[in-house]
Structure 1
Amino acid sequence: MVDALVHTKMAFPRTRTELVRRPRLTESLRGAEDAALVLVSAPAGFGKTTLVASALDDVTPVAWVSLDARDGDGTRFWTYTLHALEAASPGCASVALTLLEAGNGRFDEVVAGLVNELSVRPDPLTLVWDDYHLADTPQVSDGVALLLEHRPSQLRLVISTRADPALPLSRLRARGQLVEFRAADLRFTATETGLYLNRVHELGLATGDVEALESRTEGWAAALQLAALSLRGREDAKGFIDSFAGDDRYVVDYLVDEVLDQQPIQLRRFLLDTSVLDRLSGPLCDAVAGPADGMPGSAVLELFERRNLLLVPLDDHRRWYRYHHLFGDVLNARLLAERPEDVADLHGRASAWYEAAGEVEAAVRHAFAAGASDRAADLIEMAAPELRRQRVESLLRSWVPLVPPEVLAQRPVLASNLVGALMASNTFDDVEDRLDALERTLMSPPESLTIRDEVEWARLPALVATQRAGLALVGGDVPATLAHADAALARAAAGDQLTVASASALKGLASWANGDLLTALHAYQAATRGLVATGHVSDALGCTVTVVDLELQRGNLDGARDAAGHALDLVEAPGGNPGHPRGGVTRGTADMWTALARVAWERGNAQEAAQHLGRAGDLGEAAGLPQQPYRWRVAMAHLRESEGDTTAAAALLSEASRLFNSDFSPNVRPVPAVLARLHLRIGDLAAARSWAAAAGVDVDDDMDYRREYEHLTLARLLLAEHRAAGDPDRLDRAAGLLVRLEVAATEAERTAARVEALLLLAVVADAKGRADQALSRVQEAVELTRPGGWVRPFVDAGPRAVELLGQLRGDARFMDAVTAAAGGSRRPAARREERSPSAGGVEPLVEPLSGRELDVLRLLGSDLDGPAIARHLGVSLPTVRTHTQHIYAKLGVNNRRAAVRRAHQLHL
C-alpha cells in the first residue's frame, strides 16, 4: 500500500548550493546514457550519494530509491522501486505493481511486466538505487539481474553501494555496458580539498595544510567533513593536522570522538538518543530525547544543519531530516556501547509518539525494536478494524511473521485479525492451522486471555465461522461454505451487521458458484447494505462489483447501471469516503467506473464506455480493488478491438490473464476464453483450438454453470470450423451443445447465456437452411434484449446474426443501435423516416442518453431546482450537475430550457 510507505525514501536528495562542483565526475556520469548500469561503488563516506544527486540534478525523469536493511525483502524492494518509477513517470510500472500486489511472490513476473511497460515508452528514464548494499540479498539480486539482462534501451540503472553487488558485472564489462566509479575516482583531489575546506567551511588553511589533510584522508569525503568540524574554532589547526593519522576505520572513530567531545553534554546526549530514529523531526526528537541546552528539538536540528553536522534534510520545509548514514551508524553503535540499557526505552518513546501521531506502521516497528511484543500486539489489535476498513491488508500481513506464537496464543482477537489479513491477501497455506489454534484458544477461560478490543472479542465466534466459510469456498467446498456461513449468522450478536454482511456475501458466492444468480444477487445486495451501514465502504464497493456481474448475467442492464451509480453517489457525497485513510479516493471507486463502462458497452455505446474507462484509469491502481486491474484491461481490450487494433486487444487480454484475481468470486468468465473469442473473430482458429485443448472442454461435458462461458466459446469454435471447412458434423455438434446450454440457462434464469445460445442457434439454423427457425430464435433474443437497449449480444454473435435481425419487422431504433454498434451504417432512409421524431427533420442523437441521464432530463422539464432533483433521485448535487453537462453536450444545447425543447423534438 502506498499509504504504508515512507515517501521520503523515494525523494530525490537536495544538493547544497555550497557544494564543491566536481565536473570531472558529474559530466562523466551524466554522459553515460548508453550504459546498462552505472555503478558507484566505494566505502562509506566517499560522497557516492552526493555525486549521483549532483550529476542527475538537472536530468529528468529520475526515479530515486534510498534503500535500508529492511529492503532486502523482495516485496519491499520492488514495492519502493515501482512506486518510485511511477512517481517519476506515471504509468510506467502500473502492471508490475499490480503483479506485485497480487502477492504471489513471482518477482520474475514483476520484472517481466516492468520491462514490457518500459519498452513501449518513448522517453528515457533513470532509476537510482542508493545504498544498494543494504538490500543486496539473493531475492533482490535475482530480479535486478533479470532486469539488467532484458533492460529496455529507455532505462538507465544507477547503483550506489559500499560493496560490489551480486550481479553479472564481468559480463556487462565485456559487453561495454558498465560504467564504474570507484573509491579512487571519488577521492577529492588537492584542488577539490582546498575548495571544500576553505570555501565551504571557511577555515583559511594554508596550501601545505590542505595538502597534508588531503594526503592523510586520501581524499575521503566523510573524513574531510569530520576534520573540518573538528578544526572549526581551533587555534592550533596545524598541530591538529600534523597529529592526524591512521587508516579509514580508526579515522572515523577518532573524528567522531572529536565531534562528539566538542558538543555540550546535552547536545551529545541528544545525538545518541535520536540515533534510534530513521527520520528526525522537532516534535519527534522532543518526545524521544527531550530538550537539549534548553532548545526544543526543531531548534537543535536547525543548529546541526547550520554546522554541517552530517544532517540530511528530507523536505523543503526543514521539518524532517535524517543523519548521514555513516554518522547515524556510528552514533547508534556508541549508544549501544555506552548505554545499552536505554535503547529499549528510546524506541518505546518513539513508538508512543508515532501512535499519538496516527502512524501505526512506525509505532509498531519501534515497539518491536524495543522488544515490546505485547505493546506491538496491542497496537495491531486496536488498529486492525480500521486497517481492514481501509483495505490495508498488506500492512497487516507484514506483521504476521513478527508476532511471536506465544503472544498469539494469548490473543485470539489479534490471531483472527492476522488470519483475515492472510486470507484477504490470497494467502491460505497455513490458515487452517491458524484457525485450529485459534479455536483451541477460544476454549480457554476468558480471564486467562489478553483482550484489548472488546467489540471484536464479542464478534469472534461468528468471525471464526465466517473465516471457515471463506476457506471452504476457496477450496471449492460449497456445502461447507454454506454450513459455516449459516453458523456465522447463528452466532452473530444482535446488531453485528458486519458479520451478517460477510456471511451473506459468502452465501451469495456459494449460490453464484452453483448458478443460482437470483439468490446470489439478493445475498449480495443485503451484504452491501450491511457494509455501508458499518462504514466498510470499500468492501461495499467490492460487493457492488459482484452485483453488477450478476445483473449483467441476468440481462438487467438498468439494475447493473443503478448499482454502480448508487455506489458512486455514496463515495462522491460529502464525507462519503470513509474507506480511505486520508480523505482521498475510496478504494473501489475505479471499479465502479469500469462497471459503468461495461454497461455502456453492452448497450453499444463505445464512446461512453471509453469515457468511463478513462475515468477509472485516471484514478490509478490505488483506487481499485483486487479485481480492477484485470477487469479494466478486459474492458479496454473490447474497445481496442472495436477500433480495429486487435494486436493491442490481444496484449491487453494477455496482461489481464496474468493479473487475474478472483477475490473469492467464481471464475465464470475466464480471460483465456475471452482471448479465444478474439482469436476466432480474427480467424486464428489454431490459437482457439489450443485454448480448447488447454481448457479441456468438450461437447459431451455435463452442464456446469461455472464452465458455461467456456462451453459457449467452444460452440463458437465449432461454428467457425464449419464455416472454414464446411464440415456438417461440426455444425451438428455445436447445435447439440447449444441446445443443452440454452435449456440450462433458461431454467436458471441466466438471461445472458440464454440470449447468446439463442443467437448462435439462429446462426446454426440459418446455415442448415431453416430460415423460419433462425428468425424465430432471433425474435426470442430480441424480446429479451430490446427493453433494456441491450445490443451487444447481436454484435458478438457475428455479422450473420445482425443480418438476420435486419429481416425482422420491429423496433427500428433498436435495430439501428445494433447496426451502429456492429460498425455498420444506419438503416435505409425510408426506415429512418418511419421513426423520425419530428416533421421538421430533426436529426437523431449520435450518442444516446444513458438511463440515468434520461431520469435527470425528465426532471429538468419540471419545476424542481438542482438540489430538489438531487434529493428526488437520491444522489449528490455534483452528480446531478455532471449528468446535466453530459445531457447538454449530447443534445447540443447550453441551457435547461433548450435541453427540454430539444428533448420534446426527439420524443425523449
Structure 2
Amino acid sequence: MHRPRLVDAMEAAAPGQLSLVSAPAGYGKTLLLAEWAHQHTDATAWVSLDADDNDDRRFWSAVLSALTSCAAVPEDSAVRRLAVPGRPSRDPAFLAAVVNAVDLLPARVHLILDDVHELTAPDPLHGLADLVRDRPTALHLVLAGRSDPRLPLSRMRLNGEVCETRAAALRFSMREADEMLAGTDVVLRPDQLRLLVAQTDGWAAGLRLAALSLREADDTDRFLTDFAGNSRAISDYLVDEIITRLPSGTLEVLRAVSVCDPLSAPLAVTLTGRPDAGEVLDRLEHDTSLLLSAGEGRTWYRLHPLLRSHLLADLRRRRPDLVPDLHRRAADWYDGQGHPVPAIGHARQAGDSDRVTQLLRRNAVSLIADGAYRVLRETLDGLGGRFLAQDPWLALLAALVDVETGALAAADAHLDCADSVWPAEPRPELTALRVLVHARRVSLTGDPVEMVQVTEDLGAASGEHHGLAVIGELDRALALLTADRPAEAQAVAEAATQRARLWAQPYLVARGLTVLAAVESVRGNYRRMVALAEEADEVVPGADWETTAGAVMSSILRAYGALLRAEPAACLDLLGPALGFGDAPDDAPLDAVEPTARGLRGAALVDLGRVTDGLDELRRARTRTVDHPRMAATSAFLASLEYPAATLAGHREVARTVADWVEDSLGPTGDVVLLRAQRLTAMGRHSGAAEALRPLLDGTLRAFVPWAVLEAWVLDCRLAVLTGRREHARASLNRALEWSEATDVLRPLACGPTEVADLLTSLLGSFDTREPIARRVLRARLALSADETRVGLTGRERAVLDLLPSQRSFGEIASELAVSPTTVKTHVRALYSKLGASSRREAVDQARHRGLLFPGPS
C-alpha cells in the first residue's frame, strides 16, 4: 500500500536529525521504510538486525557492508577500506575513522538500521550511541524498532535532533483500512469497517489478520462483535510476537490492569499491590508503545484493545477467582475518587449487588443530573426485581429512567412498586424524587392544565438537590409552553439552564437548550431553534444523550427545521430517535412526541412524492391530537401540513374534515384564516380568498404556526397572478422572500404553486439583496422535483450494477468491463452505500425494488 502521509513524515527530517520509527510488532514499520527508501534507492544503505548482531564485529561488518553496497559511496571512498578490529565499539580510533570516512562522502547517505530493538549487548549499543552522538552531516541515520533504543532521546528531543514516527501515526485510517481490505476481496459496510478499525485501533497486522479471517467467516457482524476472541490468528500473533517477549513481572502487571480501561498509575498500584506499577506502565509506554498515555496531564493509560482483550481472557482462564476481586478493588478506587459511573460498572462486573446498591444510593442524584440514564438502566436491570420490590428509592429511580426513555408502562409499574413499600416517614430526598417522577410522567401524557399544576412546586420540593431542582424547573418550563405561555416558559428555562451551567451539569444544560429551542419554534425563530437544538447535541454527545427525552425533543426540532428548509430526506433521517421513543410493546404512543413526529414524517413523505403514505401518517397524527388534546399550536401545525397535502392529492373530503376540525379546535385564528383562503382558492373564488387573507397579512389575527404568514404571502402572490395583478404579485413575492430569508423557511415557496415559481424564475436577477434567497428557493424546488427513486449512480456504477445479478465473480466482471478487480470492488462498495445494502443479494433486491433493474432471477 502507498501511504504518502507517512512518506512525507519521513521526508520531513531536517539535515542532522536522527529519524526514529518506533512501534510494536505489526505496525508496518519495515514496509514504510521500504516505501520511503524506494525514493532514495541509490543513497540508501539498509541493515536488518537480528540477535546475532549483538556480536560487535558482526554488527559493524553489517553496517560497513551496507554502506559499501550503496551506489552513493564512491569506489575510492575511505569507507570501502575500513577494517573491523577485534572490539570495534570500544576502539575510539575505529569509530573516529568511520565518522571521518562517511563525512567525506560527496552526497548524503541514508543508513537504515531496522529492528534496532534486537541490539541488547553493551558493546554494539555503546558503538551505536557513539555513532549517533558524533554522526557526520553526510549521514542520515534511521533507526526502527519495537522499542526505543537506549539513547539519550529526551535530551535529543529537547535539542530538536529527532524526527519521530510512532504507533499513533502508523495506525491505519478508515480510508487506508478500506483500501487494504479491498486488496483481499473483503467488502465491509461503513459501520462494519468503523467497528473493525476501532477494535484493532488501526493496527496493520490486526487488520491484515482480520481480513484473512473474514474471508472464511459466515456471519461478518457476529465475527466482529468479538473479533479478538473469534480470530485464532490474532491470538497466536499476540502471543508469538508480543506477549512471550515481555518479562514475567511486567506480564503479571498487564494481566491485572486489563480489567480497567483506561487506567492510571495509582489505580494500577491498587490493582496489582505493587508500588512500582506506575513505573512499569511508564516504561512500557516509552519502550514499546503497547500503552499510550492520554487525558489531561497524560496521567491515564490505554492498552491496545486487542492486547487488552487477550490479556483479560488469559486472566480469566488462569485466575478466575482473581477477576471479581480486581473489579472490587477498581470499584472502591473509583468511588474514592468521586467517579460513580466506573465504580458502579466495576461493582457490577464483580457481581457484588450490595456494593452496587450502596453506590446507587450515594450517587443516584448526581447520575440523574449527569444524564447517566443508560448506566442507571443497565444497573437497575442487573439488580433485578427483588431489589427494586424492597426499596422505594430504587423503584423510583427505575421509574424515572423509564419515563426519560419513554417506557411508560414500566414506569407505572415501578411507581406502584414504590408506593407499595413507601415508608411512614420518608426522607426529604425520597419525597422530592417521587414528586419529580410523577411530574415527568404527567409531562408525557397529561393535559396542559394538569402539567402546570403538578410542576408548580417542583423546584421547592427538590430542596438542596440542585440537579433535581433544575430538572423540575425545566419540566415547569415545558408545562408553561404546552399551555401557550411561551414568555414565562422562556424565563424559567433560561434561569434553569443558567443554574445548570453554574453547577457544571452539561446534561441539564443540554436539556435546557432543547426547551429554549422549543420556545423559539413557537415564536417562529426557526434558525435560532435549530442552532439551540444542535448546541444541545454537541454539549452531551453519545449514547447517554441519544436515548433520552431531551435528545428526542432535539431531533424533532432539528427535523422541523429541515422540513421548513425544504430538506425532507434530512427531516426523515433526523426523526429516528423520536419515532423510536417509547416503542415498547406495552406502551401507548406518547402524546408529547408521537403526533408531532408523525406529522413531520408525513409532511416529509409528501414532499418526497409519497403522498399516500404521507397522508396516512398525517391522519394518524391528527387522530392522536383529537383523542388527546394538548396544545393549540400542535393542532394548528398538523392542520397546516395535512390540509394542503390532502388538497394536492384530490382528497377534498379529507381536506374539509381537517379544516372543520381545526376551526372547531382553535376558533378564529390566523391558521384557520389561511386554510379558509386555501379552500376558497381551490373553489375558484379568488377575490374571496384574497379578502380572507387580509387579517393574517396585516397582523390583525395571530397564527399559532408563525410560518403561516409566509404561506399567506405565497398564496396572495398566486391569487394576484391568477387575477392579472402582476405588480401586486411581485410585491407579495418580495414579502414572501423577506420572510423566507429572515426565518430560514423555504418550504412554502419551494413546494408552492407553479404560478409563484414561474414568476420567481422570470424575475431572477432583479431581487437585489434578496437574489441569494430567491436562487436558494429555486434550487430547493429543483431538488424536490427529482425522482425519489433516483440513486445518483455514475456510469461505471450503473455498468457494475447491471452485472451484479449474474453469477460472475468480481474478477469476471472486471474482465468484462476492462477494469481492475479493485476498481470493481470500489464500485460495489459505493453501490452498497447508495442502496443501503450489506451484501450482493441485498443490493440486487434493493435495486429491483427501486426500479433500477428489471425483475428476474438472482
What's the TM-score, normalizing by structure 1? 0.48
Cα distance in structure 1, aligned partners of 2:323 and 2:558: 55
Cα distance in structure 1, aligned partners of 2:246 and 2:640: 81
Cα distance in structure 1, aligned partners of 2:549 and 2:217: 35
Which runs of structure 2 are paired with 1:489-638 in the superposition (5 Å)? 496=432, 499-500=434-435, 502-504=437-439, 506=441, 511-512=446-447, 517=448, 520-521=451-452, 524=455, 527=458, 534-536=465-467, 539-540=471-472, 542-543=474-475, 546-547=478-479, 549-550=481-482, 554=484, 558=487, 562=491, 565-571=494-500, 575-578=502-505, 580=507, 586-592=509-515, 594-595=517-518, 597-599=520-522, 602=524, 612=532, 615-616=535-536, 618-619=538-539, 621=541, 626-627=548-549, 629=551, 631-632=553-554, 634-636=556-558
Distance 1:281 1:657, change over 3 A: closer
Residue number in structure 1 paired with 2:592: 666
Counterpart check, 1:761 vs 2:679: no
Q: CA shift at 1:279, angstroms? A: 5.3
Query: Aligned to 1:320, what secondary structure does the other structure show?
Result: strand
Counterpart check, 1:60 vs 2:173: yes
Distance 1:162 1:499, change over 3 A: farther
Query: Aligned to 1:391, what secondary structure does the other structure show?
Result: coil
Equivalent AA in structure 2 for residue 320 of structure 1: Y
Query: Aligned to 1:705, what secondary structure does the other structure show?
Result: coil
1:283 paired residue among 257, 266, 274: 266
Cα distance in structure 1, aligned partners of 2:378 and 2:737: 53
1:355 paired residue among 307, 317, 335: 335
Equivalent AA in structure 2 for residue 743 of structure 1: D
Cα distance per residue 1:356-408 (max 9 Å; x no partner): 01222332344345553212211122111211122211101111233255544
Cα distance in structure 2, aligned partners of 1:654 and 1:439: 35
Counterpart check, 1:222 vs 2:148: no
Query: Aligned to 1:418, what secondary structure does the other structure show?
Result: helix
Cα distance in structure 1, aligned partners of 2:342 and 2:324: 15
Counterpart check, 1:742 vs 2:663: yes
Counterpart check, 1:800 vs 2:715: yes
Residue number in structure 1 paired with 2:301: 320
Which runs of structure 2 are paired with 1:896-907 in the superposition (5 Å)? none
1:17 paired residue among 14, 18, 22: 22
Equivalent AA in structure 2 for residue 357 of structure 1: Q
Q: CA shift at 1:787, angstroms? A: 7.3
Which runs of structure 2 are paired with 1:634-645 in the superposition (5 Å)? 634-636=556-558, 639-640=561-562, 645=567
Distance 1:712 1:704, change over 3 A: farther
Q: CA shift at 1:817, angstroms? A: 5.7
Cα distance in structure 1, aligned partners of 2:258 and 2:324: 13
Cα distance per residue 1:482-504 (max 9 Å; x no partner): xxxxxxxxxxxxxx4x6545545
Q: Percent identity?
A: 15
Counterpart check, 1:398 vs 2:378: yes
The total of aligned residue pairs comes to 562
Contact 2:407-2:582 at 8 Å conserved across structures? no
Distance 1:596 1:59, change over 3 A: farther
Equivalent AA in structure 2 for residue 60 of structure 1: S
Distance 1:320 1:785, change over 3 A: farther
Q: CA shift at 1:419, angstroms? A: 3.8
1:821 paired residue among 724, 733, 739: 739
Q: CA shift at 1:690, angstroms? A: 4.3
Cα distance per residue 1:679-701 (max 9 Å; x no partner): 66787644444446766969xx9
Contact 1:579-1:586 at 8 Å conserved across structures? yes
Residue number in structure 2 paired with 1:380: 360
Cα distance per residue 1:659-705 (max 9 Å; x no partner): 7889965347433333434566787644444446766969xx97763
1:421 paired residue among 401, 408, 415: 401
Contact 2:324-2:350 at 8 Å conserved across structures? yes
Cα distance per residue 1:412-438 (max 9 Å; x no partner): 423432343344333456555555555
Cα distance per residue 1:429-484 (max 9 Å; x no partner): 655555555555448x99xxxxxxxxx74555x5xxxxxxxxxxxxxxxxxxxxxx
List gaps (5 residues or longer) in structure 2: 1-19, 36-145, 148-165, 179-187, 223-229, 724-730, 741-745, 750-767, 773-858
Query: Aligned to 2:466, what secondary structure does the other structure show?
Result: coil
Contact 2:473-2:492 at 8 Å conserved across structures? no
Distance 1:773 1:359, change over 3 A: same
RMSD over aligned Cα atoms: 6.1
Larger radius of gyration: 2
Cα distance in structure 2, aligned partners of 1:703 and 1:375: 47
Equivalent AA in structure 2 for residue 763 of structure 1: Q
Cα distance in structure 2, aligned partners of 1:333 and 1:185: 18
Distance 1:677 1:805, change over 3 A: farther
Residue number in structure 1 paired with 2:752: none
Contact 2:713-2:735 at 8 Å conserved across structures? no
Cα distance in structure 2, aligned partners of 1:680 and 1:118: 30
Q: CA shift at 1:793, angstroms? A: 1.7
Cα distance per residue 1:697-740 (max 9 Å; x no partner): 69xx9776369867985787566666776x9xx37x74565345
What's the TM-score, normalizing by structure 2? 0.50
Cα distance in structure 1, aligned partners of 2:535 and 2:167: 38
List gaps (5 residues or longer) in structure 1: 1-14, 31-49, 65-84, 86-113, 133-155, 173-180, 188-219, 231-258, 447-455, 463-495, 808-812, 826-842, 848-908
Cα distance per residue 1:138-159 (max 9 Å; x no partner): xxxxxxxxxxxxxxxxxx9888
Which runs of structure 2 are paired with 1:174-323 in the superposition (5 Å)? 222-223=239-240, 259=248, 280-291=263-274, 295-302=275-282, 312-315=291-294, 317=298, 319-320=300-301, 322=303
Equivalent AA in structure 1 for residue 369 of structure 2: R
Query: Aligned to 1:367, what secondary structure does the other structure show?
Result: helix
Equivalent AA in structure 2 for residue 382 of structure 1: R
Q: CA shift at 1:763, angstroms? A: 3.1
Cα distance in structure 2, aligned partners of 1:406 and 1:169: 38
